[in-house]
Structures are given as C-alpha cells and as structure tokens.
Amino acid sequence: MTSIYIRTGLATAHCAIGTTGIVGRVDRETAKAICIESHTRNGKAVTAWFPKKALKHEHATGGTDFYSLAKWFTATGWTRTFIELTADSSSIAA
C-alpha cells in the first residue's frame, strides 16, 4: 500500500510556519476517489474517501506521496470528522 500525506492546513507568521496534515495509507482506490486509512490519536484505525480531483499532488519522497487539498474542497460529514480525528500539527520557528 502507498503511504500518503495530505496537508490540510498551513499558516505563516513572521519567522514561523505551521502545518496540519494527515499521515496514512491508500486503502482502496476507484477511478474518481481514494480511500485513506489513518489512525486517531488513541490508535483506532479509520478510513475516509477523498475525491481524486480534490487532491493536488506536490511531490513524492521515500515511498510517500505528498498532497494538498484543493482550495475549493470543503470537507463535510464523516470526511470532516476523519480530518479532525487524524490530523497532526507541526511547526518550526527561526
């Protein structure tokens, strides 16, 4: 299975940058959508479907494909809950 990272948020301020994203793997795939499996903060495996056209491929490194969400995409229902349960944040400041 392919490892995947989907950036769901990005913020910058002065000398700092912060990102939020989902780390997971491609569980299933159709012609129009990808099912991502990730884990909640307490270790439960969960899945959600994302339309392929909502995922903008940025690059691939070390067996992981990196994507960002299209600006027009608004997660609703379970997909929104999936993002809230599985997204991790990281930041760096200079």
Report pLDDT for 55. Answer: 94
Q: What is the number of alpha carbons within 13 Å of residue 22 lying toward its C-beta?
A: 30
Please count the structural domains in the chain.
1
* pLDDT, one tens digit for every residue, the chain (94 residues): 689 989 888 888 888 888 888 999 999 999 999 999 999 989 999 999 999 999 999 998 888 999 999 999 999 999 999 999 998 888 888 7
> Can you tell me the distance from the alpha carbon of 91 to that of 10, in angstroms, rounded to the nearest whole number?
10
Helices (H), 1-94: 77-86
**Residue whose tokens read 């229902």:** 77
Q: Percent helix, strand, coil in the chain (nearest 5)?
A: 15, 60, 25
Which residue from 61, 50, 53, 58 is spatially nearest to 26, judged by alpha carbons?
Answer: 50
Whether pTM > 0.85 for this model: the answer is no
**CB burial readout 6-29, b (16+ within 10 A) else e:** bbbeeeeeeeeeebbbbebeebee
Domain span holding position 66: 3-93
